Amino acid sequence: MATPIEGSVAIVTGGNRGIGEAFVRALIAGGAAKVYVGSRDPANAQHLVEEGQGKVVALTLDVARPDQIAAAAKAATDVTIVVNNAGAFLNQRLIGAETMDAAREEMEVNYFGLLGMCRAFAPALKANGGGAIVNILSSGGVVAVPAMGGYSPSKFAARAASTSIRAELAKQGTSVSALIVGSVDTRMAAHVAGAKETPADIAKIGLSAIKRGTDEIDTDRMAIEVRAHKARDPKAQERALARMLDMETISTGR
């Protein structure tokens, strides 16, 4: 179920910076007819609206707000590609945090927000020929990372949801691609030292997944190494990740 970029209409959540911003630019460069940029404050996406020269539309969209998801779906009925990029990482521990508020917010954004977007836009995708959904996930959804607190569990949930949504939407011709991302040079990964991939490289692989209808792909070296280590010696990997709890600085190791 391949989906062309040329002539497509896309919506990108959290599209005003980082990987989302890179997706917006890559889609326009790839020939997309229109890209809706979802952002909690549309003013933060104004630079992309100006760059897009009439092809980029900024929408108010906080994926933790079902009413805003519904409003976006009502405004963007011509969408053929949904990029679920918006994410939350609050850097608190599951047990060590004073409350579960951070874990709840991470689950609300990273899992329920993604699910809400898929549910809201599935009818439009069907009406427009099937199209594609791309979920920006994490290697923290392939292996549990204790130092990430609620972020890692939320990405596990989102990865499982991607598989289930793919099965549910197969008959309407909608592909669902899960991008497993390692360490990328974004604000969310500012606390991580070492080599990081560029958001533009992740977007490039994401567009390739859309065009090929790829189910799941590791987007970078770290994601590939994490999966390989898990296959080779999962218990050793678990011990190594547990040691990160006591590290003052987290590094990619490169």
Give pLDDT tens digits for 157-216: 999 999 999 999 999 999 999 999 998 866 554 455 456 689 999 999 999 999 999 999
**pLDDT band (50, 70, 90) for residue 250:** low
Q: What is the pLDDT of residues 104-113, one digit of tens each?
A: 999 999 999 9
Q: How many CB atoms lie under 10 A from the CB of residue 51?
A: 13
- pTM for the model stands at 0.92
β-bridge mates for residue 12, sequence order = 37, 83
Amino acid present at 231: A
What does the pLDDT read at residue 2? Answer: 87
Residues 6+ apart with CB under 8 A from 77: 124, 127
Residue 202 located in a structural domain: yes
The pLDDT of residue 127 is above 70: yes
Greatest CA separation for the chain: 52
- Indicate the helix (H) or strand (E) that contains 178: strand 175-180
What does the pLDDT read at residue 191? Answer: 57
What pairing do the DSSP bridges indicate for beta strands 56-60 and 34-39? parallel
Phi, psi of 40 (to 5 degrees): -60, -30
Residue 209 located in a structural domain: yes
Domain with residue 214: its CATH number is 3.40.50.720
Residue 44 located in a structural domain: yes
Residues 6+ apart with CB under 8 A from 111: 154, 157, 158, 161
What is the Cα–Cα distance from 141 to 130, expressed in whole angstroms? 27
Instruction: Say what angle helices 234-243 and 221-232 make with each other, to 10 degrees.
Output: 120
Which domain, by its residues, includes 90?
A: 9-251
Residue 3 located in a structural domain: no
What is the Cα–Cα distance from 196 to 220, expressed in whole angstroms? 9
Lowest mean pLDDT: which of 13-22, 180-189, 232-241? 180-189
DSSP 30: T
Residue 205 located in a structural domain: yes
Residue 2 located in a structural domain: no
The pLDDT of residue 81 is above 60: yes
Residue 184 located in a structural domain: yes
Q: How many domains does the chain have?
A: 1
Residue 4 located in a structural domain: no
